[in-house]
Every structure is written in C-alpha cells, then in structure tokens.
Amino acid sequence: MTTSKFSVNFIRSDFPNLHIKVRGQPLTYLDNAATTLKPQVVIDTVNCHYSEGVSNIHRGVHYLSERATDAYEQSREKIRAFINAKSVKEIVFTRGTTESINLAAASYGRHFLKSGDEILISGMEHHSNIVPWQMLCEEKGCILKVIPLNQQGELEKGAFEKLLSDKTKIVSVVHISNSLGTINPIQNIIHKAHAKGAVVLVDAAQSISNDRINVQDLDCDFLAFSGHKLFGPTGTGVLYAKEALLEKMPPYQGGGDMISSVTFEETTYNQLPYKFEAGTPHIAGVIGLGAAIDYLNALDRQGAKKHKEDLLAYGTQKLLEIPGLILIGTAAKKAPVLSFTLPHIHPHDLGTLVDQEGVAIRTGHHCTQPVMRFFKIAATARASLAFYNTREDIDRLVAAVINAQKVFK
C-alpha cells in the first residue's frame, strides 16, 4: 500500500475481488464507472468498526461513542484535505452523488430561485443531474436549458456561452461523463458562469477517482461525489459547498443531530455541517471512506494516472480492430471509459456472453438516456477502467467480444 512507484501487480494484491473466479474463469472487472472494487484495508476498517467499535456518534459520552465519533470526524478532515476545501464545515456527508445534487437543488434552489430564472445543464448529464433540476423547475417556474453535444461526445463549441445569460442562476455540469468518458472544461465553465453571477455545481462522481481535484483552484460553489466510486463503501457521499452558501441555505431534512434545540414553539439548527446531516448516518461507511482516502494518498497517483492513460490508448486501439465495432464517445480529452456498439448484437446480449468468460462490463443506457437518443441508439456496452486493470484485461475483453460475434454469425 505504501510504494513510491506505481506497480499494477503490487496494487492488484490489495483488492481481494480481483482474485475470485466467475463461471470458472478469472474475473476481469471492467465496470469501474458503476462502482470500484474495495482494497482490503477498507474492508478491514469497516469490519473493525462493526466487530470492535460499533456505536452511534455525536451523542454518547461512553468510550465506544467517542471512539466512533473521532473516527467519523477524522474522515471528514481527510476528505477536506483530499479536495483542498477551506474548512470541514464545507464537507456534508450524504448517501452519494444523487443525494448531494438533490440536497443542493432542494435547499439552495428552492430558497434562492424564482419563476423565470434559468438553470443550465449539459446534454451528457446523468439522470441524477437532470431530474432534480426538472423537479425544481416544475415547482418554481424556472427554465431548464441544455448545452448540446457534437458527434464526438463533446460540448458543442460556443454553445455554453450562447446559452449563458443574466437569467442563469445555476450551472450544473458533469466533470467526466459516465457514458462517454468526456472530460469537460470545467474550470472555464465555472469562470464564465461566475462572470454572469451564476453558481456552479460540479458532478464529480467519475472525476473524483480519475485525477486530483482542488475545489479552491476550481472555485466551484458545489461539488458532489460518491464514496463507492472512490474505492470506499456504498451508501456514502459528499456534498462540498462554500461555507458562505451553506450558512444561507435552509436544512434539507429535519430530525436528530441537525438541531441545536427543539421546543414545540421553535427549533434552532445545529452549526455547519451538521445542519444538513439529519439522523444516524452510515457511520461505518464514512469511516471506511476515510480508509479509502488514506489508501489513495499512499498511492503513486501520477503513476496510476499514466497507467490509465496507457490502458485507454491500448483499449481504444484494440477495440477498433474488431470488425464493425463503433466507439460512442471519441472526445479529444477522455477518461478511461470505452462505450461501444456492434451491428446485430444488442449490448445486453453481448454483456451476457462476455460474462460467460469472466468479463464484467456494463450494458444499457447508463442513466444517460438523452445521450443515447442523441446518438440514435438504445444502449451501449461500456468497459470502464481503474488503475488495477491491465492490458491483459483488455485482451480478454476483446477476445470475448470476438467470440460473441462468432455466436451471432
């Protein structure tokens, strides 16, 4: 876990799932955009909490409660440092990216937006960055506008600037597309949106594990991500928001821990960030997420990034050698996501056949149905890569796809 130089073979030994067999074959796991595998240290940390330290947090004065609270809040500080937020007050724990976006839309949007205000998103958004804004528009009479795509799966040049106006109050854009792999020019988007007085939410579900994110350098107002795509437990997530915004926003939910005092006549709310964290959270998950952060901090992140760039180039080359295969998403700046279609083979059938050879890929619309409609397809097969993947994994995928073609011939 503590190597100064990246070694994929060394890294792979940290992930027990990589050593199982699927249908008698060694597992080739290429579904990292959906969820990443967990290193043993994360599994051990969660197990340790449940077996030796289980307790509720923030409320108890006994040893186990104090210990769990310390571990939980240490994770908050680890995440603050990981994304370089100014204060732990800016780190709100949620169940994942979806809840983080819903929190921002429900709390900030309902409080600050009015009829006629405009919300700007892109044509490559995940459903979780579309539906909450549609719900807000329906409730408040706001207008949702969409930045169109080009055939490479990039934002259409100049379209964002044309749509941006003095009426734009929120810009909510994905950093890296989960179905195309496109890396959006997020810093430029933030700069231009701020010049019009709009706040910006960044969906970092895919980008949080792809490269280092510095929220102060980006100057984003909100940033949302999930723990399970960052080699941590499921059911954990983060909404980063600037402290000044969180201070003005009303609570998202009511209940325990988000209050300072309650009477039947009046309730006063807790300080940040607890004002937005009602009820008992996923304590073990957040502690496990802290262990995942420790793991990544001990990793040669630059070496891991170069390794993924090599895998993307190699995978692109090898897949395009397959007769009839069409890549969906060919942006100049891409993360290691390879979505594709094959003539006469539905992606679901392809996914089932390659699974028979131990290869795990994702098939479907990937919660980006507008993207599928834009490319006039129903679904794609998607191979998404992490730093523990290898060229051999790609070779096994290619061989499995070719064998699937033989079946359909």
User: Which amino acids are annotated catalytic?
Assistant: 367
Separation of CA 252 from chain center: 21
What is the spatial distance between Cα 11 and Cα 387, in angstroms, rounded to a whole number? 8
Residue 334 near residue 312, CB atoms below 8 Å:
yes
Classify strands 359-360 and 28-29 as parallel, antiparallel or unpaired: parallel
Give the Å distances, CA to CA, from 191 to 40, 264, 274. 40, 45, 30
Q: Which residue has the tokens 């890569």?
A: 385
Give the Å distances, CA to CA, from 64 to 11, 45, 55, 57. 33, 15, 6, 9
Q: Per this entry, what is the length of the chain?
A: 409
What is the spatial distance between Cα 9 and Cα 262, in angstroms, rounded to a whole number? 55
How is residue 176 annotated by DSSP? B
Q: Which two tokens mark 394?
A: 């790609």
Residue 1 near residue 14, CB atoms below 8 Å:
yes
What is the spatial distance between Cα 138 and Cα 121, in angstroms, rounded to a whole number? 16
Which stretch of DSSP H or E encloses residue 194?
helix 186-195
Give the Å distances, CA to CA, from 15 to 181, 233, 271, 295, 383. 24, 14, 38, 12, 19
Backbone phi, psi, residue 168, to 5°: -70, 120
Give the Å distances, CA to CA, from 104 to 4, 108, 153, 201, 339. 39, 5, 27, 8, 30
What is the spatial distance between Cα 150 and Cα 159, in angstroms, rounded to a whole number? 10
- Cα angle, residue 354 at apex, residues 330 and 388 outer, rounded to 5°: 65
Residue 85 near residue 243, CB atoms below 8 Å:
no
